[in-house]
Structure 1
């Protein structure tokens, strides 16, 4: 028995073809959007590559770009196929492309689903990559101008400090020995394993919204500053940059993934519509009248044998054939019956005439 069968008239087949043509053009526009999202993500990640370790920034953008470009090409062609198949005068030329189009669109829908899933999965990859990358950049802060600039811009732009929080700077020597008086007793006291460690953070951690001048040296020593208690009010950012960057990209990846999932649902709707159009046209063809109302469905009697003539249409065709055969036979009987009636008088006239015996002579 067909699954979710719907009777579709010739007029509705034309309307369905037009609707699918519009949906395919919209889907082509969605393909452009998917490719654009891949390019946007690539540019965004590349701007922070100095802070990322062990992350391939090409995988997700390349996946989205390929899927987007394939979507544009496929759905532009699919719009033409669906619209022309819905019209009686052009149906014979394009209806043969409907089933291959369904198969290719199904594969593309799976790729779109994979792209959306990758967007959600890459949040986890970026989280670990930022953890390693930011920590590594902080350790090079004192000697490498490039990493120093990246870290300072990161902390000012994202209003963050350190990797997990500002205390990460306490375990890293971020001031070069060239700017330290190594003979100073205070400096010597703070040298640990050859590294100068103190409760200081770079100036880029300063929060401009703080009321008092920024305190980024001796942060946890209240005695070093007047009217200051670091437990009550600090003048630096307290949020870690790993969390700030992860949230920034996570929101964008979630939005991208959500949009791609909506596009995937739209592709399923297009697939269902094309399948109904294809099966209805096929059933009308095998019935002998391409313009008659026939059912369309998602799956026929045998889902694994799509080329098999559906039972309902096959039975209808057999009934029509038997009806025509009966009409022919009845016509032949009528003609032969008329022939017999007209031939009997002719047979009688062909026989010798029968006369009564004449009366005997007297």
Structure 2
């Protein structure tokens, strides 16, 4: 007995074909969106690749680009089949391909599910990548003359301005590194010498942050130097006063941005995993079981599986077992033939 059978007349078949045609072409549009978002995500990661600890994060955008292209092709083909389904001559051309197409759809839906899961699971890896990458970026901020790090300062300044953030965890991260190059330090100045010599590693450390940490919306001119020294500024208490620099760390800001992009893409992919395949199966079986193919007004029956779930599963197991036995017989025959050859030589 067929699984989930449904009776169809001409009106129902037409409505099903039209509805599926719209769903398939909607999925094509979603595929274009996924492809576009994959390219956008890849460009965003490329722009900030200097602040990323590794290149594993590019797995997701590369997969999104592939999935978007496949979605356009697979769903475009399904839309064409649904468009031609009510014309017996045109449908006969697509009929032999439907079984293969439905299998391809199953595999493609599996790929979509894996991609959606990666969009959610890779967010933790993205967080760790940003944490280590930003830590190194702050360390190499001053190395504008070092090959490979020439644009690190510009990239980090642009990021802090764009995302309204400062440092890795917060602005205090800048206190732990020397972010001013030695070429811009006056080593003949006693104050500079004392500050360098007072540090075990010989670094010029200070309680200051780069200009890109300043909040332009603050009414007070930006205080970016001597942040923890109340006497260096008039009417200032860094413990009580709201600082006019960004308090949010760039790791949190970037992670929030990238995770929201990945979450939206994952949700969009889940929407793409729709019931198109089940509808096409109903439509194809309804057209194959028409009582009078010459009479379009006749009734027919559609189903998802030709047999019940249990019988279909048993048939699948039987086919797999027979396939295994066939392989064993072929190996045995090859072994027998080899033994005959060796006996002949002996």
TM-score over 0.5 for the pair: yes
Q: Match for residue 312 of structure 1?
A: none
Stretch of structure 1 that moved more, 91-100 or 219-228 = 91-100
Match of 1:95 in 2: 95
TM-score (normalised: structure 1): 0.76
2:156 alignment partner, SS class: helix
* Residue pairs, 1:1-362, within 5 angstroms: 1-144=1-144, 145-191=150-196, 192=199, 193-231=201-239, 232-264=241-273, 268-284=274-290, 292-299=298-305, 300-301=307-308, 302-304=311-313, 305=315
Q: String of CA shifts for 1:197-216, please: whole Å, max 9, x gaps.
A: 12111121111122222111
Q: Which runs of 5+ in 1 are unaligned?
A: 307-362
Alpha-carbon deviation of 1:19?
Answer: 2.3
Query: How much has 1:51 moved relative to structure 2?
Result: 1.1
SS class of match (1:303): helix
Aligned length: 302
Distance change >3 Å, CA 11–CA 156, structure 1 → 2 = closer
When normalised by structure 2's length, the TM-score is 0.80
| Cα gap change, 1:204 to 1:294, in 2 (>3 Å) | same
The separation in 1 between residues aligned to 2:243 and 2:218, in whole angstroms, is 8
Cα distance, 1:288 vs structure 2? 8.9
SS of residue paired to 2:78: helix
Whether the aligned pair in 2 keeps the contact of 1:279 and 1:296 (CA below 8 Å) is yes
Q: Which runs of 4+ in 1 moved over 4 A?
A: 287-292
Q: Is the Cα contact below 8 Å between 2:30 and 2:268 reproduced in 1?
A: no
Q: Which has the larger radius of gyration?
A: 1
Per-residue displacement from partner, 1:337-356 (whole Å, max 9, x unpaired)? Answer: xxxxxxxxxxxxxxxxxxxx
- Quote the Cα distance in structure 2 between the aligned partners of 1:142 and 1:105: 53
Partner SS, residue 56 of structure 2: coil
- Shift, 1:183, TM fit: 4.7
Give deviations 1:56-113, integer Å, cap 9, x for gaps: 3542222112222122222222222233233345443333322222111111122222
Query: C-alpha displacement at 1:52, in angstroms?
Result: 1.0
CA 87–138 in structure 1, closer or farther in 2 if over 3 Å, else same:
same
Of the structure 1 ranges 160-169 and 191-200, higher mean CA displacement relative to structure 2 is found in: 191-200
Cα RMSD of the aligned pairs, angstroms, is: 2.3
Cα distance, 1:165 vs structure 2:
0.3
| Deviates further, 89-98 or 200-209 | 89-98
Q: How far apart, in 2, do the equivalents of 1:169 and 1:92 lie?
A: 70
- Which deviates the most, 22-31 or 292-301? 292-301
